[in-house]
Structures are given as C-alpha cells and as structure tokens.
Structure 1
Amino acid sequence: MFWRSRDILEGPEWANVRALYKSSGYSEEELKKPIIGIVNSFNSICPGHAILKQMTQRVKEGIAAEGGMPVEFGTIGACDGIAMGHNGMKYVLPTREMIANDIEAMVEAHRLDGLVLLGSCDKIIPGMLIGAMRVNLPTVFVNGGPALPGHMVEGNPYGGEYIDHSFIQQSEGALKAGIINQEQFEWIENHAVPTIGSCAMLGTANTMSCLAEAMGIALPDSAAIPAVYSRRLSIAYESGKAVMELLKKGFHIKDIVTKKAIKNAIKVNSAIGGSTNVVLHLLALAYAAEIDLDIFEFGEVSKTIPHLVAMIPAGKYTLLDFYEAGGVSAIMNEIKEKLDLDCLTCTTKTVEENLVKAKNYNPDVIHSLDQPVHNREGIAILKGNLAPDGAVTKPSAIPDNALQFIGPAKIFESEQEALVGIRNHEVKAGDVVVIRNEGPKGGPGMPEMYKAMKLLVGMNLGDKVCVITDGRFSGSNNGCFVGHICPEAADNGPIAYLKNGDIILVDVVNGTIEALNVDFHERMNTDVISPINKEVSGYLYLYRNSVETASKGAIIPTRK
C-alpha cells in the first residue's frame, strides 16, 4: 500500500529527510510506516486541555499497535472562561482560523498521512476540524472530556443537584442584588469546578464534542466521558487504532463529514439544546468542506427536531448525567428515524451500524421524540427588518414567558459599556438591551456577551429583559437573548441605526425580530452614524480586514 509520506522518504534523493527523522531518534523500521500526525492542543492554562498530554501518549500507542509512526505537534487552545469579559475575548473566535492554519501548514509541510486531533474547548474543536478538512486525510477527533460538576442541592437555581462554572458569574448578579451573601458567593467559587475538563454544562465545548461524534469523526460513546475517568485514556488508544484502519481502507475526512453528516449534527444539536456558537462553526466547517449550507437552511433543519435533553443552562442535568444515560449514541438512537443512517463514520461503519448497541439508560435525562422537554427546537434562526441576514437564538434556554418579548431599546455601544450599565442598575424590567459594535468586524473578533446575560439572570431579570447583539453568546447562557444579528453595525446593518426607546419585538415562536414602526431605509439615508473607534493592530487588524459576516460563519475566505 502506498501513502503520501513515501514521496519524501524513499530513494537517495530523500536521504536528507530520513536523516532528520533519524536525528530525532526514529528508526529505519519506523520510517517505512505511515506517519500519523497527532495535533495536541495541551496547555496548562485551559483546564479542558490539562488531560491531553496523557491522552497523547495513549494515542501514540494505539497508532504504533496498528503499524503507524506517530509524530506530535502542538497548537494553541484558549480558555473562553478565562478570556471572558475583557479584551482577551476578542481573540478567542479568531483563534479558530489560527488553529486551522497551523494544521494545514504542518501537515502539508511534512507530507503526513493521517491525523488524530486532540482538543476539548470552544474554538479549538472547530478549528481542528476545519484544518483537517483543508488537507483531507484519514482523521479521527478525540476530546479531553467534561469536568465533573459541583454538587449543590439547597438553593440550586437549575432545580437539580449539580452546578457548573457558569453559575459563578450568575452568582455575581445575585450577590449584587442582595440575593446571596459574600460567604455563599465564595463557597460557589470554590466548589463549582471540582476537576479538570471542559465545563460541566452544555456549553460550546461539550456541544462541539458531541457534534463531532454525531458527524462520525469521533468514536461512538466518546464525547461525554468525564476527563477524570479512566475510559478517557482507553478511548484515546482506540482512536489511535481507528485512524490506522481509516488509512488502510482509504477513507478520508471528507468521506465522513458530508452534508448529510452535518445535517445529522444540526439535528443532534437541536435535540440536546446545544450552543448558539455551533451555527458559526458548522457553517465554517461546511465552507471548508465545500458544502453548500446557509444559515437559513440550518434553521430549517433545526426545526425538525424538538429539545429532548434538559442540560444546564436549559435544565438541571450536566454532561455527567448525559454520559451515564448513554450519551450521544443514546440521543441519536432516539431520533434515528430523522437521521441519515447511511453516513460513514470513523469506525469505517455507518451510523446505523454504530447504533445497534445504543441504549437510553435514563429516559428522565434523554427524552423520546414523542415526549420532548420542549416542543420547540434547540436553536432557531430569526429574521426581520433588524436582522435581514439572520440572527441566532436558543429557544431551549428561553423561559416560556419570554419567547415573545416586546419592549423599548436600551442601547449600549459595547460590551464593557453594557456591563457598567447593568452593574449600575440602569437596565429595568421590560427593556430590550441592545449591545452593538461587537460583531466579527466591529468587536473585532465577535466577543461573547456572556457576562451581561449572566449578570441579568443573577439579578432575576433573565426573563424580564431581552438582550440582543451583533456579538455572540456563550453556550452556557440562558434567559431571553438573540445574537449574531446580521448585518452587524460595522457592516452598516440596521442595528447601527437603532435609537433608545425604539420598540423591538423578539418573536421566537414565529422566528422574527423587528423594530416596530422604524423605517431603516429612511434612517440610513438621513442619519449620520459615527463609527465606533476601536483601533486595533496585530492579528486583530488582519482579522477585521479579512473576516466575513457571522451569517457566513465568520470565516476568513481561503478560496475564490
């Protein structure tokens, strides 16, 4: 069997390459094997990635066991939680393209034959998948696993017995509102995150891990294994073996991540109530795969599946509960009549074959299609005069009484301005909080409005105000919120022409977002909008001048 690394390893003209590998300790025997790159985003900053060093060793052992030569290279992995609410959040979404570029460059520079991707958190997973799509090799993704949740029964706002990292920010709002005292707040800080791993709720990190499995690029039953469980290491070993099987059978990532597979992922996302950020990431992944998918088709596919798993922030359960109930295989089995079951997966089997042994061990956690948590979908795409190119919301995390919200606009020109206003109690029940100039270009980097929403929820205003923005939200947000409003203010979108007091209708039931009795065409012709001065340099300068709109996945174009 021939593989592409032979191009630079065989014959006297490539002795220099063999010598370089030998200088690192590789043997003549190893250099006759396929070279499998392990992309490791380990660092000691991001707790979701702390396990990856141990996992990499097990992946190497799995590759070697099946006759491959493993080589390892690193890429960055930023922690959204640490970057949240300050200037660092501007860099987080842009890291997705940095990671993709790293993978493309390293793989092509060294003519690698296959890939195992190791990551856990929000932008790292899609960045890795996008990079892998560009080079189109046999590929397996394996995540580092979620953290175990904190245990808190009395006063639990989610109604269960577990809490997660995002509850800390919500508790700041409760502290400021006098709902809890300083001692209680400190207890939450010290007990909400008891172990390493990606955050224990269904944020973007765990959502993307689940969707990688749903698309078939990660092994069945791998996404929700807690980071501290021994099974996490054995799945790494099995992933190393799996990539070799793909190589032997000639299957590449584009054979697995097809349009049908992405639509399966959209349906699973709706069923689990996944993060709003996956709209950006799946659109970007489709672009990398040269698959035709737009934001409105995403919304139509999402509508076909109701919300079936009430995980934090849309319910009381965590990834631990989901794992123990059967995880992604169980939810896919519950909705299999709605899925394309003939999709190939990284096991070299189809989805249908993989689901033969799937079982739902807890119907209270994973509901059936005929007994959903909510009849509405997990993610919805809205459209109207305020967002003609679309906007994103999460019906599964919006209280019933706030699904249709109407109120006057309370405008903030940036996230930081909004945080000051909220902490100073400038936002009142009934307001529609508008945070603009935070899109991919305007941010730049499309930062999350996570803190603003969490503060409002902690102040018991989560269902009494609605937050709308051209920025985005965290997967851990709940309450009434709409993000990704397109065109963004920096693209001269209608949101730039809103005024304080304009009446805004957010109708999630009917899929619309409108500024009532506002003629935006007239305002665009008569009103002079002063651009917000956000001077940037370095990578953010390059990003701002290259990035596409959020309705296209906030991609940086890589082809004509």
Structure 2
Amino acid sequence: MEGNRAYWNGPKAAHRRVMLKAAGYTDSDIKHKPHIGVPNSFMEGSPGSAHLRQIAEAVKQGIWAAGGIPVEFGIPATCGNVANGAEELKYEQVGRDIVAMSIEFVTKVHHFDGLAMIASCDNIIAGTYLAAARLDIPAMVITGGSMQPGNYCGKKVVEAELDVAVLGGESEEKLADMEEHVCPSYGACPSMGTANTMQMLGEVMNLVLPGTGTIPASDNLKIRKAREAGAYMVELIKSGRKPSDLITKETLLNAIMFDMAVAGSTNAVLHILSIAYELGIKITMADFEKYAEEIPCITGVIPSGPYTVVDFHYAGGVLAVMKMIESKLYTDVPTITGKTWKDILANVKVESTDIIRSLNDPLYNEPGLKVLRGNLSPNGAIVRPTGVPKEMKYFKGKAKVFSNDFESLAAIEKGEIVPGDVIVIRYEGCKGSPGMKEMMLTTDALVGYGLHKSVGLVTDARFSGFNYGAIVGHVSPEAYDGGNIALVENGDVIVVDTIKGEVTLEVSEEELAERRKNWVCPPLKEQKGCLALLAKNCRPAEEGGAMQPW
C-alpha cells in the first residue's frame, strides 16, 4: 500500500490527483486512504447480473465507512443461456480471459491497493478469480447469489427444464407459458451450473467470505453481507494478505475435494487449473483422479438430485459441506478471515439431510466428477458420474461423427441417432472451436428425445453445469491438435466406462497410424479477434485452457 501512496502523492502526481478530484474525490481521500477497485459485472441483459448495482452500492458504502475509497468500474458480462443454440456460445470461455484482462488493465493503471470484485455467473466470476491470482494484491469477490426456483403447474421448476423442453418438441403455447415461470427472480440459475459452482468454490479458495457465496439474490442478507465485505476489504488491505498467501496448493486441493462432494460443474476443472497455473502451483488431472477415489458426492442439487442451490444454502451451504468432509480437508491452511479452516469449522453445526449428507452416508457411492483416460483421451477427459444414468455407467456403441453441435442436433431430430450410438463431436475444443463451446443443443436434445439413457456423447468440447447424461467432455489432446478423436470414423466402436475411468476407441494402433498419415490439420475457424487470440495462446484443456502462453 505504501508504494501506491507515492503514486498519488507529491507534486509529480498532481496530474493524477486532479483527475480523481474532478471525479468527486477529495484531496484527503486521494492521498491517505486505500484505493479499492470495485469491478462490477452489472449488465441489464441477464438476471444473474442485472441486480449487481445494488450490491455494488452496499460494497462501496462498506469501503467508505471503513476508511477506504472505492473506485467502481465496469467489466464485461454475458449470460451463457442467451447464446445457447447459437454459434456465439463459443465466446463464453474466452470471456474468462477478457474479464481477467479488463480488471488487470484498469488495476495496473490506477494502482489500486485492493480489489472488491462483484460477479455472479459462469466464466465471468471465474475471470475475477483469475484476475485476483494474476494481480496478487488483496482481493475478494462479492457474489450476486442464486435465483429462486420457479413454480410451474404447481411444481418447482428451473431454467434448464425449459432448455430441454425447447428441444423436446413442446408446443409453442406451453413454452410461452413456461417462460413466464422458470426465472422468477434475479440471481444465477439455481442448479449446480458453473455460476453456482464457482460462487461456492470462491469460499473454499479464500476469495469469497465464508458463508456468503450462495446467499440467494432475493434475500436482503445479501446486501448486508455485501456492506460487511466492503468494510472487511479495508482490513484485508491493512493485513497485506494477498491471493498468493491465501491460495496455497492445499487450498486448491480442498477446492477439488469440495467439487467432488457437490458434483460441481465440469467447468470447475478448467478454472481450478488456470488459477493454479497463474499462481505457479502445480495442480494436474492426477489430483482430480486422486480425490475422485476418496470423496463421494454428498449433495443432491440439480442435476444430481431434486434440490436447488437455494435449498442448499438454507441447509448450511458451503460451510456445511466442508464440515461434512472436514476429515479429508487440509484444515490448517489460512483463510481470508485470518483464521484457519479448523477454527472456522469448529463452530459449524450440521446434521445429515437429503440435501447435504455425511461422508458416511453419501448420496452416491461415486464422486461428483471423474477423469477418464484411454487411447481416445490419454491426457484425460471429464465426466460427472452423478449425472450419468445407471444404464449408461458402462456403455459400448458405434460412433457417429460430427464436426459441431448443430450437425449432431439435426441428426437427432431426423431420427438418425438410435439407441446404442455414441455421438462424437470434434473440432470444438479450446483451439478447434475456438473457445471450447458447450454442447448444450445435443445434450438437451438427447434428454428431450428420451435418448440420454441409451446414447453416449464424447467430445473435445465442454458442457454446461446444467447438462446430464452419458456425456464425456474435455477429450485431450483435442482434434485440432491431432488427438485420436480426430481419427474416429463412423462405425468405430467406443467404450466408456465411468466406473473404471476409461474411454477407449476399439481401433488398433496400426490402423490409427495409417489414418494419421492422411490427417490434415484444418485452418482455424476464426482468423481474427479474441477467439483467434485464444486459439493461438491458450493452454490445453488439461492445463485450464486459458490464455497463459508464458
């Protein structure tokens, strides 16, 4: 903080001070108080971000009251579901890098002493975490919370059910009726999608104050806690504790264990890996494999069970899960509060329920996430076992190969996909897409057409946290890099064993070598813009897929 004071004090800083004075800050504020950047992902076009102005105001009130000066600025935000069904969905993943870079840009110029970032959804909140790791100044994230579930025909309903209905042949009248009911409040969609997964993991990774990540957007406690967070941000700066002090290897291993316990979005793998890489911490797919053997899923949040994140929060939330798996966690690591997790969890009282169970009585006898390996994905692929129907824990079928989500959807709609098929969608990975697009059309159509219990899907792309079925993503090496997924032909036999952790193409090495002789790497689908930059600078999926060429 002292170094930043020199940036704003003395005669040579007059040109800087005058800018802040012209913006309404006083001389005393500028010279003596900690400057705290408040990146706000407010955006009117999404329920996950349209309410963030009110949260930002509370955060700034807290900062002022505690003796800091807040400097709010906007950061990009989108809603992934707006792009669902369109080619533009591939922009979602690069959004993580754009958000991180936008925060980096403003923070470096303004020499903020700390960051109180406000975000809710998907790759936007992941981008704030990545920015915290990159800038390594005192930082925290204040989440926007989750949405209330809707009520349709007397039953609880969430937005993901509308996605399935759209591709399941429902009438226009019914869809219009559902639209009026599925999203009744602000906040992130209340299933275990990427948004809520990352809000939860923020607590574990010491970027979100304990107990606050999943407070529903409709609960006014969210505003009170946002004000408290703003005040605590000043204390965090005074303590000098930075992300590199608070996010240790053990912290990230705790995050992996937590993700197993809650069956978080498969996208969490990419985000944990990229944060680790930014901090110079060695986390690999082997760490996910290790804890998949130790931590079963103990929560029943949609799609792994019938409950919403709102139910999860009022059942105890993140702290309740951590208490349930405390025996496995590294509890001596520091937290954002200055206490250890051992200290914090000592005061947490929780009883096993159908929403959050104990390790001795898990909801599933399998983890919430698993790494699959084999000749089709030697560097690892990802599946969420709790979303795989029991009939499909092991499946063997003939490949039907497609180059994108649209081709696959068309085949389903024409009746060309039948029980026993394994859909292969390739050239949709980090580089091939570029952007590692989510295959939401195909996954939702499989459910909508009743094929999710008889048809598998293997891809080098990724999925939404809403998706479920016998779906395997993040296949690496991806097709664009010449992975064996690029060599699959229609009719090849593929075996996916989610119990043993295997994904195998039953084609001999000799035959694959012959096919490789004729393989030609296609040109990039995007030749300019941020997607072209991503394709040329990103790490592979098993290293997080972010633009981190250093």
Fold shared, TM-score > 0.5 on shorter chain: yes
Map 1:16-415; keep pairs closer than 5 Å: 16-31=15-30, 32-152=32-152, 161-175=155-169, 181-360=171-350, 363-415=353-405
State the partner residue of 1:157.
Answer: none
Supply the distance in 1 between the matched residues of 2:314 and 2:270 (Cα, whole angstroms): 29
The DSSP-based 3-state class of the residue aligned with 1:151 is strand
Q: Secondary structure at the match of 1:39?
A: strand
Partner SS for 2:395 = strand
Shift of 1:259: 1.0
Which residue matches 2:539?
548
Aligned to 1:517: 507
Indicate if the aligned counterparts of 2:253 and 2:287 stay in contact, CA closer than 8 A.
no
| Alpha-carbon contact 2:297-2:367 (below 8 Å) kept | yes
Report the CA distance between 1:546 and its aligned residue: 1.5
Gap change, CA 1:26 and 1:342, over 3 Å in 2: same
- For 2:514 and 2:426, locate their aligned partners in 1 and report how far apart those are by CA, in whole Å: 17
Identity %, equivalent residues: 38
Q: Which amino acid aligns with 1:85?
A: G
CA contact (8 A) 2:538 2:549 kept: no
Q: Aligned-pair distance for 1:533?
A: 6.8
Separation in 1, partners of 2:452, 2:427: 22
Instruction: Single out whichever of 96-105 and 494-503 deviates more from structure 2.
Output: 96-105
CA contact (8 A) 1:4 1:112 kept: no
Distance 2:336 2:526 in 1: 45
Partners of 2:213 and 2:434 in 1: CA distance:
31
How far residue 65 of structure 1 moved from its aligned partner, in angstroms, is 1.5
Offset of residue 356 of structure 1: 3.0
1:423 pairs with 2:393: no
> How far apart are 1:194 and its partner, in Å?
1.1
2:457 aligns to what SS in structure 1? strand
Contact 1:215 1:261 in 2 (8 A): yes
For 2:304 and 2:232, locate their aligned partners in 1 and report how far apart those are by CA, in whole Å. Answer: 34
Counterpart check, 1:3 vs 2:2: yes
Question: 8 Å contact 2:434–2:526 — kept in the other structure?
Answer: no
Measure, in 1, the Cα distance between the counterparts of 2:245 and 2:468.
Answer: 36
Is the 2:539–2:549 contact (alpha carbons within 8 Å) kept by the matching residues of 1?
no
Q: Which amino acid aligns with 1:75?
A: I
Residues 193-240 of structure 1 deviation map (CA, whole Å, 9 limit, x = unaligned): 111211111100000000001122211111211111101111111111
Task: Check if 1:498 corresponds to 2:464.
Answer: no
- Partners of 1:258 and 1:168 in 2: how far apart? 40
Q: Is the 8 A contact 1:55 1:236 kept in 2?
A: yes
Contact 2:524 2:532 in 1 (8 A): no
Distance 1:303 1:191 in 2: 40
Superposed displacement of residue 493, structure 1:
0.7
TM-score, normalization by structure 1: 0.95
In structure 2, how many angstroms separate the alpha carbons of the residues matched to 1:182 and 1:87? 23
Deviations 1:277-334 (A, max 9, x none): 0111110010111101112222222332100011111110000110110100111011
Residue segments in structure 1 that go unaligned for 5+ positions in a row: 155-160
Q: 1:120 and 1:295 mapped to 2: Cα distance?
A: 26
Length-normalised TM-score, structure 2: 0.96
1:174 Cα deviation from its structure 2 partner: 3.0
The answer on whether the counterparts of 1:162 and 1:316 sit within 8 Å (CA) in structure 2 is no
Separation in 1, partners of 2:496, 2:238? 52
Q: Secondary structure at the match of 2:168?
A: helix
The one-letter amino acid of 2:167's match is G
One-letter amino acid matched to 1:34: P
Instruction: Give the corresponding residue for 1:158.
Output: none
Q: Is the 8 A contact 2:354 2:363 kept in 1?
A: no
Query: Counterpart in 2 of 1:13?
Result: 12
Partner of 2:424, secondary structure, is strand
Query: 2: CA distance between counterparts of 1:359 and 1:328?
Result: 12
CA contact (8 A) 2:493 2:506 kept: yes
Question: Structure 1: which amino acid aligns with 2:156?
Answer: Y
> 1:532: Cα distance to partner?
6.8
CA distance in 1, matches of 2:528, 2:266: 28
CA offset at residue 181 of structure 1? 4.7
**Shift of residue 153 of structure 1?**
7.0
Distance 1:421 1:388, change over 3 A: same
- The answer to whether residue 526 in structure 2 is matched with residue 527 in structure 1 is no
Secondary structure in 2 aligned to 1:53? helix
Give yes or no for the alignment of 1:480 onto 2:480. no
Q: Does 1:538 align with 2:519?
A: no
Counterpart Cα distance in 1 of 2:293 and 2:50:
37
Cα drift, residue 14 of structure 1: 1.4
Kindly indicate whether the alpha-carbon contact (under 8 Å) linking 1:487 and 1:549 is maintained by their aligned counterparts in 2. yes
Shift of 1:525: 4.1
1:152 Cα deviation (Å)? 4.3
1:47 aligned partner, one-letter code: P
Mean Cα deviation higher: 466-475 or 84-93:
84-93
Q: Distance in 1 between matches of 2:46 and 2:2?
A: 35
